Homo-oligomer: A and B are copies of this chain.
Amino acid sequence: MKYSFFADYSEGAHPEILKCLVDHNDDQDLTYGNDKYCALASKRILKRFNIKDGEVHFISSGTLANVVGLSSMLKPFEGIIAPSTGHINVHEAGAIEAVGHKIIYLDTPDGKLTPDHIEKAMLTYEDEHTVIPRILYLTQSTETANLYTKAELKSVIDRAKFHGLYVFVDGARLPMAFASAKSDMTPEEFGALGIDMFYIGGTKNGGLFGEAIVITNPLLQPYFRNHMKQRGAILGKARAIGAQFARFFDEDDLFIKVAKHACDGAKKMYDGLVELGIEFENEALVNQIFPIFETVHLDELEKLYGFYRYEKIGNDKQKIRLVISWATPQSAIEEFLKDVKTILG
């Protein structure tokens, strides 16, 4: 296989991240996240998002970040409003339900929730016989490679607040939302939207492992580490995640730079495929694109490249997913385009 476009976490860590792990390896420091790296990373993250009175914690995986973060906000009989495409609803093996909470999921045309979705979900609440909706769960950028605009986010968050909901943003690919050429939002602006808790993905953006969860609402901060510990989410050497995020949020904005490489690569791939006459249903917003190929061409393409066959379109076509990562070299994209051209004949 020449190259895999299967995922943005098929390699180890970005060289700068790896370097910082090496550089900081030998110091003795406190365990369980009480170290200077975690402290520095927290400070830098809060500054970059311009969040006062926030708290940051470091967790090894996205699913665990969702489980701990969401469950920490809920009473046993409270639930979460989410799009049906949300990661917690489809790709976490029922992790949220396993800790006791209902996901009130809603079908969406594009993976994004609107104020109307919230209204619909709120109708399910009657009294003690029904789950109380308490959290609005959003993903930015979405699992379907979509982006909320600032105005869209604002309107859905405002409606959530009107109904007394907390807002949680799954940011497994949040850096791409700032790095996208279509982004209309800075981290500072994102930090001012009234989100109660969100997490910033490391794994899919060049980190070796680990995600940073940011609690902007001070009422949700007490006992958070107890929740983490009980779910197995405090690492003995959490310092290793802290060090990565301290580097990501150093003055050069590495977390955005790295994501930009991926988003720009996806745009380049998109433009190249369009030029070759390949159809798309959506434009390239972040680092995943979904070209529609004639099925007959895919077998040959699959001999050379890794990718995910997403969905059949009619009898003869198939949508595939190409993920461009922080690590994808320009040459891999160019080679792919050349090979597609050859295959299409």
Contacts and interface: CB of A to CB of B under 8 A. Distances in A.
Given A61-B233, A94-B100, A128-B226, 7 more contacts: A12-B24, A12-B240, A28-B327, A63-B229, A75-B223, A95-B231, A232-B233
A299 interface: no
Which A-B residue pairs are the 8 nearest by beta carbons? A64-B232, A12-B25, A63-B232, A93-B229, A93-B230, A128-B225, A60-B60, A9-B236
Nearest to A201: B236
Chain A contact residues, majority secondary structure: loop
Interface string A2-22: 011011011111010010011
Interface stretch (A38-46, A138-146, A203-211, A285-293): A203-211
A90 interface: yes
Contacts of A130: 90-91, 93
A227 B24 CA distance: 34
Nearest to A77: B226
7 contacts: A21-B208, A61-B233, A92-B129, A95-B229, A203-B235, A209-B236, A231-B231
A236 B95 contact: no
A237 interface: yes
A98 B77 contact: yes
Contacts of A15: 25
Interface string A106-135: 000000000000000000100011111000
B60 A61 contact: yes
Contacts of A92: 129, 229-230, 232
A103 B105 CA distance: 11
A203 B236 contact: yes
